[in-house]
Amino acid sequence: MTDELRPRRSVLYMPAANERALEKAKTIAADAIIFDLEDAVAPDAKPGAREQAVAAVQSGEYGGRELTIRCNGLDTEWGAADIAAAGAAGPSAVVIPKVDTVEGVDEVSSQLDVAGASPDVMIWPMIETPTAIFNVREIAAHPRVAVLIMGTNDLAKEMRSPIVAGRHPLVPHLSTALLAAREAGKVIIDGVYNDVKNPDGFADECRQGMEMGFDGKTLIHPSQVDPANETWAPSADEVEYAGRVIAAFDEAVAAGKGVVTVDGRMIENLHVDNARRVLSTAAAIDALS
């Protein structure tokens, strides 16, 4: 499975200081987990949370879930120790808040190397400031960056804009980051939805993110996992249609036909590419089960 096709429909933040949360995460059907050492952890609890995140990553008790650790920034008193410990633990990636420049990615990468981290430990930079939006093409193109994560709460704060239904103040900046990710061939994950008691609003925002082109959504509560998984999974009808598109195209090519139609619609190479992605995505999701 390529990194680009690995399912990341649901990327759940779990506070690493909370032992019950870490235990519960073993049973939640999230595609990926971010063991959080930053916002969800009080200053005096950060060293203990770091130890618990490392133990969780090394435990082998989380099945096929992709495990990452969100470190504190290098400009904090905990950042360097977080990155060193996380890198040595061998998660899929370290998640780094408020990455503004590609030089910031270089610094994190150097710190990982100093810690003896495997080259396979990637960096997921959080894009959550105006400066990051202006520099997102360079950040996305960095060879150690696998995934971009949108930090929509902080981005809205920096812009002095309210977080409203439909997110119209953020849409241009979300689109800019999406274009950068696609140009670089990287994965990009949408930001969190804050109102866990509004499932309809969450479903609408998932639908918006999926339609914009995001690969999944970061989540703050286990109740958000199943709706996100459903939104970013191909439906049975989509899988069936994709199979027919590929079969019709292959049959037409074998017969030397120049025009292919399925259900009265003309099929071109781009439709075949999309159909293959649908089938590959469905297969990757099935492999997680």
Give yes or no for a contact between 227 and 19, defined as CB atoms under 8 angstroms apart.
no
Q: What pLDDT, in 10s, does the model give residues 48-58?
A: 999 999 999 99
For 15-29, write each residue's pLDDT tens digit: 999 999 999 999 999
Give the separation between CA 259 and CA 1, rounded to whole angstroms. Answer: 32
Which range (78-87, 105-114, 179-188, 256-265) has the least confidence?
Answer: 256-265
Phi and psi angles of residue 163, each rounded to the nearest 5 degrees, phi first: -90, 110
Alpha-carbon distance of 41 to 276, in angstroms, equals 42
Closest CA to 40 of 62, 58, 61, 25: 25
Of 93, 80, 155, nearest to 123 by C-alpha is 93
What is the reported pLDDT for 3?
A: 61
CATH code reported for the domain at 10-231: 3.20.20.60
At 26 the pLDDT is: 96
Over range 156-182, report the average pLDDT.
97
Question: What is the spatial order of strands in the sheet that 217-219 belongs to?
Answer: 187-189, 147-150, 122-127, 93-96, 66-70, 32-36, 10-15, 217-219
* pLDDT on residue 51: 97
- Measured between alpha carbons, how far is residue 4 from residues 64, 127, 181, 265, 284 in Å? 16, 19, 11, 29, 11
Give the pLDDT score at 256: 84
Q: Which of 210-224, 231-245, 258-272 has the lowest mean pLDDT?
A: 258-272
Residue in the structure block whose two tokens are 């002095």: 160
Alpha helices in 115-235 (DSSP H): 130-134, 136-141, 152-159, 171-184, 199-212, 225-231
Whole-number Å distance between alpha carbons of 206 and 106: 32
CA–CA separation, 101 and 73 (whole Å): 13
Residue 195 has pLDDT above 60, yes or no: yes
Cβ-Cβ contacts under 8 Å for 128 (sequence gap 6 or more): 97, 98, 150, 151, 152, 153, 154, 155, 158
Calculate mean pLDDT across residues 215-225. 98
Q: How confident is the model at residue 81 (pLDDT cuts 50, 70, 90)?
A: very high
What whole-number distance in Å separates Cα of residue 254 and Cα of residue 268?
15
Per-residue model confidence (pLDDT) at position 5 = 77
| Both tokens assigned to 239 | 């899988």
Q: What is the mean pLDDT of residues 73-86?
A: 96
Does position 1 have pLDDT exceeding 80, yes or no?
Answer: no
Please tell me the predicted confidence (pLDDT) of residue 193: 98
Average pLDDT of the chain, as a whole number: 95
Q: What is the pTM of this model?
A: 0.94
Paired tokens of 25:
């995460």
DSSP class of residue 190 equals B
Domain boundaries, the chain: 10-231, 236-288
pLDDT at 2 (0 to 100): 55
pLDDT at residue 113 tops 60? yes
pLDDT of residue 166: 96
Mean pLDDT across 254-265: 84
Q: Cβ-count burial of 252 within 10 angstroms (0-12 exposed, 13-18 middle, 19+ buried)?
A: middle
* Count of C-beta atoms within a 10 Å radius of residue 192: 22
Work out whether strand 147-150 and strand 32-36 pair parallel, antiparallel, or are unpaired. Answer: unpaired
